[in-house]
Amino acid sequence: MQAAAEEEKEIIGKINESAQAELKEVKEKIVQEMGTVKATLEEEIDAFADAIGQKILGRVA
């Protein structure tokens, strides 16, 4: 019983550790991808702004 409880703790600890590591890795990946996406979108901000202005003014700004 004690051995099984220790094994249970060990399994949960390993999985918890693995999950934390995976979460950290995914967070880093998200931050990295968000950075790339942000850079791409910032390049298109002018186009967005022109489209907004055109929609508001009803003509090409």
Partner 1 sequence: MKVPIFNRKRSRVWWMLPLAVVALFLFGSTVAFSESGGGHGEAVPKGWVKTDTYRVMNFAVLAIGLFLVLKKPVSQALGGRIQGIKEQLDELEEKKKAAEAKLVEYDAKMAALDKEAEAMLAEYVKQGEDAKARILKEAEAAAEKLKEQASKNIEYEFLQAKAELKAEIVEKALAKAEAIIKEKINSEDQDKLVDEYLEKVVA
Q: Which residues are at the interface with partner 1 (CB under 8 A)?
A: 1, 3-5, 7-8, 11-12, 15-16, 19-20, 22-23, 26-27, 30-31, 34, 37-38, 41-42, 45-46, 48-50, 52-53, 56-59, 61
Give, as one character, the DSSP assignment of residue 19: H
Closest distance between partner 1 and the C-beta of residue 12, in Å? 5
Residue 42: alpha-carbon gap to chain centroid: 18
Closest distance between partner 1 and the C-beta of residue 48, in Å? 4
- Token pair belonging to 14: 């390993």
